[in-house]
Structure 1
Amino acid sequence: MSKFENFLDEKGRVKSWPSKHLLKIEVVKYIADKFEEGKEYSEKEVNDIIDKWHTYGDYFMIRRGMIDYKLLSRKRDGSKYWKEK
Protein backbone atom coordinates (compact mmCIF):
# COMPACT_ATOMS: atom_id res chain seq x y z
CA MET A 1 0.00 0.00 0.00
CA SER A 2 1.38 3.42 -0.94
CA LYS A 3 1.42 6.30 1.52
CA PHE A 4 -1.19 8.06 -0.63
CA GLU A 5 -3.65 5.21 -0.15
CA ASN A 6 -3.50 5.88 3.59
CA PHE A 7 -5.41 9.09 2.85
CA LEU A 8 -8.34 7.28 1.18
CA ASP A 9 -11.36 5.75 2.86
CA GLU A 10 -13.01 2.48 1.79
CA LYS A 11 -15.00 4.35 -0.91
CA GLY A 12 -11.91 5.95 -2.44
CA ARG A 13 -12.58 9.39 -0.95
CA VAL A 14 -9.77 11.52 0.48
CA LYS A 15 -10.25 11.54 4.24
CA SER A 16 -7.62 14.09 5.30
CA TRP A 17 -5.28 16.73 3.89
CA PRO A 18 -1.66 15.52 4.04
CA SER A 19 1.02 17.60 5.69
CA LYS A 20 3.74 16.53 3.25
CA HIS A 21 4.01 18.50 0.01
CA LEU A 22 4.37 15.50 -2.31
CA LEU A 23 1.29 13.84 -0.85
CA LYS A 24 -0.70 17.06 -1.29
CA ILE A 25 0.18 16.96 -4.98
CA GLU A 26 -1.01 13.34 -5.15
CA VAL A 27 -4.33 14.31 -3.54
CA VAL A 28 -5.03 17.15 -5.98
CA LYS A 29 -3.98 15.00 -8.96
CA TYR A 30 -6.29 12.23 -7.78
CA ILE A 31 -9.27 14.57 -7.54
CA ALA A 32 -8.36 16.40 -10.77
CA ASP A 33 -8.67 13.03 -12.52
CA LYS A 34 -12.41 13.16 -11.71
CA PHE A 35 -12.85 16.07 -14.15
CA GLU A 36 -13.28 15.70 -17.92
CA GLU A 37 -10.91 17.42 -20.31
CA GLY A 38 -12.61 19.82 -22.72
CA LYS A 39 -15.57 20.46 -20.43
CA GLU A 40 -16.24 23.75 -18.66
CA TYR A 41 -17.55 23.71 -15.10
CA SER A 42 -19.18 26.32 -12.91
CA GLU A 43 -17.67 26.92 -9.48
CA LYS A 44 -20.61 25.06 -7.92
CA GLU A 45 -20.02 22.04 -10.18
CA VAL A 46 -16.33 22.02 -9.24
CA ASN A 47 -17.18 22.19 -5.54
CA ASP A 48 -19.76 19.41 -5.90
CA ILE A 49 -17.27 17.09 -7.62
CA ILE A 50 -14.63 17.81 -5.00
CA ASP A 51 -17.19 17.19 -2.24
CA LYS A 52 -17.95 13.75 -3.70
CA TRP A 53 -14.28 12.78 -3.48
CA HIS A 54 -13.29 13.97 -0.01
CA THR A 55 -14.79 13.67 3.46
CA TYR A 56 -13.34 16.51 5.53
CA GLY A 57 -15.37 19.42 4.13
CA ASP A 58 -12.68 21.71 2.72
CA TYR A 59 -13.31 21.87 -1.02
CA PHE A 60 -11.65 25.31 -1.15
CA MET A 61 -8.21 23.93 -0.24
CA ILE A 62 -8.43 21.19 -2.88
CA ARG A 63 -9.76 23.56 -5.55
CA ARG A 64 -6.97 26.04 -4.80
CA GLY A 65 -4.41 23.23 -4.98
CA MET A 66 -5.66 22.10 -8.38
CA ILE A 67 -5.37 25.66 -9.67
CA ASP A 68 -1.95 26.23 -8.06
CA TYR A 69 -0.57 23.02 -9.59
CA LYS A 70 -2.14 23.93 -12.94
CA LEU A 71 -4.39 20.87 -13.02
CA LEU A 72 -7.48 23.05 -13.26
CA SER A 73 -7.74 26.50 -14.81
CA ARG A 74 -10.34 29.18 -14.34
CA LYS A 75 -11.51 32.46 -15.72
CA ARG A 76 -10.23 35.43 -13.78
CA ASP A 77 -13.69 36.06 -12.32
CA GLY A 78 -14.10 32.39 -11.27
CA SER A 79 -17.17 31.91 -13.47
CA LYS A 80 -15.75 28.96 -15.46
CA TYR A 81 -13.28 26.20 -14.67
CA TRP A 82 -11.74 23.55 -16.92
CA LYS A 83 -9.26 20.71 -16.63
CA GLU A 84 -5.81 21.25 -18.08
CA LYS A 85 -4.45 18.71 -20.55
Structure 2
Amino acid sequence: MSKSPLPFPVDDISVFAKSLRRQLDGLERAPSHVEMLNLLAKAGGYRNFQHFRAQQDARTNLDVPRPLPADVDYRRVKRLVRFFDAQGRLTRWPKKFTMRMLCLWVMWSRIAAKVPLSEREISDWLDEQHLFGDYALLRRELVDRGLVTRTADGREYRRIERQPSAEAIELLKHLRQ
Protein backbone atom coordinates (compact mmCIF):
# COMPACT_ATOMS: atom_id res chain seq x y z
CA MET A 1 0.00 0.00 0.00
CA SER A 2 1.08 3.52 -0.74
CA LYS A 3 1.97 5.99 1.99
CA SER A 4 0.76 8.97 -0.07
CA PRO A 5 -2.44 10.52 1.29
CA LEU A 6 -5.64 9.87 -0.65
CA PRO A 7 -8.44 12.36 0.13
CA PHE A 8 -11.78 10.66 0.65
CA PRO A 9 -14.69 13.10 0.26
CA VAL A 10 -18.25 11.79 0.66
CA ASP A 11 -21.42 13.60 -0.39
CA ASP A 12 -23.52 12.61 2.63
CA ILE A 13 -21.91 11.37 5.84
CA SER A 14 -25.21 9.86 7.03
CA VAL A 15 -25.62 7.69 3.92
CA PHE A 16 -21.94 6.75 4.18
CA ALA A 17 -22.34 5.69 7.83
CA LYS A 18 -25.47 3.63 7.11
CA SER A 19 -23.80 1.85 4.21
CA LEU A 20 -20.70 1.09 6.27
CA ARG A 21 -22.83 -0.15 9.17
CA ARG A 22 -24.77 -2.55 6.88
CA GLN A 23 -21.52 -3.95 5.52
CA LEU A 24 -20.00 -4.39 9.00
CA ASP A 25 -23.14 -6.11 10.29
CA GLY A 26 -22.67 -8.82 7.64
CA LEU A 27 -19.21 -9.74 8.91
CA GLU A 28 -18.56 -12.43 11.51
CA ARG A 29 -15.13 -11.09 12.54
CA ALA A 30 -13.25 -7.81 12.51
CA PRO A 31 -12.16 -6.91 8.97
CA SER A 32 -8.49 -6.90 8.01
CA HIS A 33 -6.80 -3.70 6.86
CA VAL A 34 -7.45 -4.41 3.15
CA GLU A 35 -11.04 -5.51 3.85
CA MET A 36 -11.62 -2.30 5.78
CA LEU A 37 -10.27 -0.23 2.88
CA ASN A 38 -12.70 -2.03 0.54
CA LEU A 39 -15.62 -1.50 2.95
CA LEU A 40 -14.87 2.23 3.20
CA ALA A 41 -14.52 2.58 -0.56
CA LYS A 42 -17.83 0.75 -1.17
CA ALA A 43 -19.61 2.93 1.39
CA GLY A 44 -18.20 5.97 -0.47
CA GLY A 45 -19.73 4.83 -3.76
CA TYR A 46 -16.78 3.03 -5.35
CA ARG A 47 -16.65 -0.62 -6.42
CA ASN A 48 -13.65 -1.32 -4.19
CA PHE A 49 -10.44 0.30 -2.98
CA GLN A 50 -8.67 -0.27 -6.30
CA HIS A 51 -11.45 1.59 -8.11
CA PHE A 52 -11.17 4.46 -5.62
CA ARG A 53 -7.40 4.59 -6.03
CA ALA A 54 -7.58 4.49 -9.85
CA GLN A 55 -10.08 7.36 -9.78
CA GLN A 56 -7.76 9.37 -7.52
CA ASP A 57 -4.77 8.72 -9.80
CA ALA A 58 -6.71 9.68 -12.91
CA ARG A 59 -8.06 12.79 -11.17
CA THR A 60 -4.54 13.81 -10.27
CA ASN A 61 -3.38 13.34 -13.88
CA LEU A 62 -6.30 15.42 -15.19
CA ASP A 63 -5.94 18.13 -12.49
CA VAL A 64 -9.62 17.86 -11.56
CA PRO A 65 -10.57 20.06 -8.59
CA ARG A 66 -12.10 18.58 -5.46
CA PRO A 67 -14.63 17.30 -4.45
CA LEU A 68 -14.25 14.20 -6.57
CA PRO A 69 -17.58 12.76 -7.79
CA ALA A 70 -17.63 8.99 -7.35
CA ASP A 71 -19.79 8.41 -10.45
CA VAL A 72 -17.17 9.70 -12.92
CA ASP A 73 -14.73 7.30 -14.52
CA TYR A 74 -11.69 9.57 -14.83
CA ARG A 75 -9.72 6.91 -16.67
CA ARG A 76 -12.39 6.95 -19.40
CA VAL A 77 -12.28 10.76 -19.50
CA LYS A 78 -8.50 10.62 -19.82
CA ARG A 79 -8.78 8.16 -22.73
CA LEU A 80 -11.45 10.26 -24.42
CA VAL A 81 -9.32 13.38 -24.40
CA ARG A 82 -7.07 11.60 -26.88
CA PHE A 83 -9.97 11.48 -29.37
CA PHE A 84 -9.75 15.27 -29.74
CA ASP A 85 -7.00 17.37 -31.29
CA ALA A 86 -5.56 20.61 -29.85
CA GLN A 87 -8.39 22.65 -31.45
CA GLY A 88 -11.01 20.38 -29.84
CA ARG A 89 -11.99 18.60 -33.07
CA LEU A 90 -12.97 14.94 -32.91
CA THR A 91 -10.22 13.00 -34.69
CA ARG A 92 -11.90 9.56 -34.85
CA TRP A 93 -15.18 7.89 -33.95
CA PRO A 94 -14.89 5.63 -30.85
CA LYS A 95 -15.84 1.97 -31.11
CA LYS A 96 -17.53 1.76 -27.71
CA PHE A 97 -21.04 3.15 -27.30
CA THR A 98 -20.36 4.83 -23.95
CA MET A 99 -17.39 6.67 -25.39
CA ARG A 100 -19.41 7.68 -28.45
CA MET A 101 -22.10 9.17 -26.24
CA LEU A 102 -19.56 11.28 -24.38
CA CYS A 103 -18.15 12.55 -27.69
CA LEU A 104 -21.70 13.40 -28.80
CA TRP A 105 -22.15 15.45 -25.63
CA VAL A 106 -19.12 17.49 -26.66
CA MET A 107 -20.68 18.11 -30.09
CA TRP A 108 -24.03 18.92 -28.46
CA SER A 109 -22.45 21.46 -26.10
CA ARG A 110 -21.05 23.41 -29.04
CA ILE A 111 -24.37 23.75 -30.87
CA ALA A 112 -26.04 27.10 -30.19
CA ALA A 113 -29.06 26.73 -27.90
CA LYS A 114 -32.52 27.70 -29.18
CA VAL A 115 -31.19 28.48 -32.66
CA PRO A 116 -32.78 26.67 -35.61
CA LEU A 117 -30.28 25.34 -38.14
CA SER A 118 -30.91 24.12 -41.67
CA GLU A 119 -29.60 20.73 -42.70
CA ARG A 120 -26.80 22.41 -44.68
CA GLU A 121 -25.84 24.65 -41.72
CA ILE A 122 -25.62 21.80 -39.21
CA SER A 123 -23.79 19.59 -41.71
CA ASP A 124 -21.22 22.30 -42.45
CA TRP A 125 -20.82 23.03 -38.76
CA LEU A 126 -20.35 19.33 -37.89
CA ASP A 127 -17.86 19.00 -40.75
CA GLU A 128 -15.72 21.67 -39.04
CA GLN A 129 -15.94 19.86 -35.67
CA HIS A 130 -14.37 16.55 -36.71
CA LEU A 131 -11.56 15.17 -38.86
CA PHE A 132 -12.83 11.75 -39.98
CA GLY A 133 -15.13 13.05 -42.74
CA ASP A 134 -18.57 11.73 -41.77
CA TYR A 135 -20.78 14.64 -40.71
CA ALA A 136 -23.89 12.62 -41.66
CA LEU A 137 -22.98 10.00 -39.02
CA LEU A 138 -22.65 12.68 -36.34
CA ARG A 139 -25.87 14.43 -37.39
CA ARG A 140 -27.79 11.13 -37.38
CA GLU A 141 -26.34 10.08 -34.01
CA LEU A 142 -27.21 13.45 -32.42
CA VAL A 143 -30.82 13.00 -33.57
CA ASP A 144 -31.07 9.30 -32.69
CA ARG A 145 -29.68 9.85 -29.18
CA GLY A 146 -32.14 12.66 -28.45
CA LEU A 147 -29.62 15.49 -28.31
CA VAL A 148 -30.92 17.28 -31.42
CA THR A 149 -34.39 17.32 -32.93
CA ARG A 150 -35.34 17.78 -36.55
CA THR A 151 -38.55 18.44 -38.38
CA ALA A 152 -40.20 15.58 -40.27
CA ASP A 153 -38.94 16.91 -43.60
CA GLY A 154 -35.39 17.33 -42.20
CA ARG A 155 -35.19 21.05 -42.96
CA GLU A 156 -34.70 22.36 -39.43
CA TYR A 157 -32.52 21.12 -36.57
CA ARG A 158 -32.51 22.34 -32.96
CA ARG A 159 -30.51 21.40 -29.91
CA ILE A 160 -32.58 19.73 -27.18
CA GLU A 161 -31.73 21.12 -23.76
CA ARG A 162 -30.69 18.27 -21.48
CA GLN A 163 -28.38 17.77 -18.53
CA PRO A 164 -25.14 16.03 -19.55
CA SER A 165 -23.84 13.14 -17.48
CA ALA A 166 -21.18 13.77 -14.84
CA GLU A 167 -18.55 12.17 -17.10
CA ALA A 168 -19.59 14.37 -20.02
CA ILE A 169 -19.28 17.45 -17.82
CA GLU A 170 -15.77 16.42 -16.75
CA LEU A 171 -14.78 15.81 -20.38
CA LEU A 172 -16.16 19.23 -21.39
CA LYS A 173 -14.27 20.92 -18.57
CA HIS A 174 -11.04 19.26 -19.55
CA LEU A 175 -11.41 20.08 -23.27
CA ARG A 176 -12.09 23.76 -22.47
CA GLN A 177 -8.78 24.08 -20.59
Structure having the higher Rg = 2
Q: How much does 1:26 deviate?
A: 1.0
Deviation per residue, 1:28-79 (Å, 9 max, x gap): 1111111111110000110111111101110011111110111100001100
After the TM superposition, which parts of structure 1 deviate over 3 Å for at least 4 consecutive aligned residues?
A: none
Give % identity. Answer: 28
- Separation of aligned partners in 2, 1:56 and 1:15: 6
Q: Which has the higher strand share?
A: 1
Equivalent residue, structure 1, for 2:130:
54
1:9–1:15 contact (8 Å) kept in structure 2: yes
- Between 1 and 2, higher relative CO (CA 8 Å, sep ≥ 6) is seen in 1
Equivalent residue, structure 2, for 1:34:
110
- What root-mean-square deviation, in Å, do the aligned CA atoms of Structure 1 and Structure 2 show? 0.9
Q: How much does 1:11 deviate?
A: 1.3
Name structure 1 gaps, 5 residues minimum: none
Aligned residues: 85
Alignment of 1:1-85 (within 5 A): 2-85=78-161
- Separation of aligned partners in 2, 1:5 and 1:58: 20
Q: Which amino acid aligns with 2:97?
A: H
Q: Which has the higher helix share?
A: 2
TM, length-normalised to structure 2: 0.47
- Separation of aligned partners in 1, 2:156 and 2:147: 14
Q: How much does 1:6 deviate?
A: 1.1
1:51–1:59 contact (8 Å) kept in structure 2: yes
TM, length-normalised to structure 1: 0.94
Name structure 2 gaps, 5 residues minimum: 1-61, 63-77, 162-177
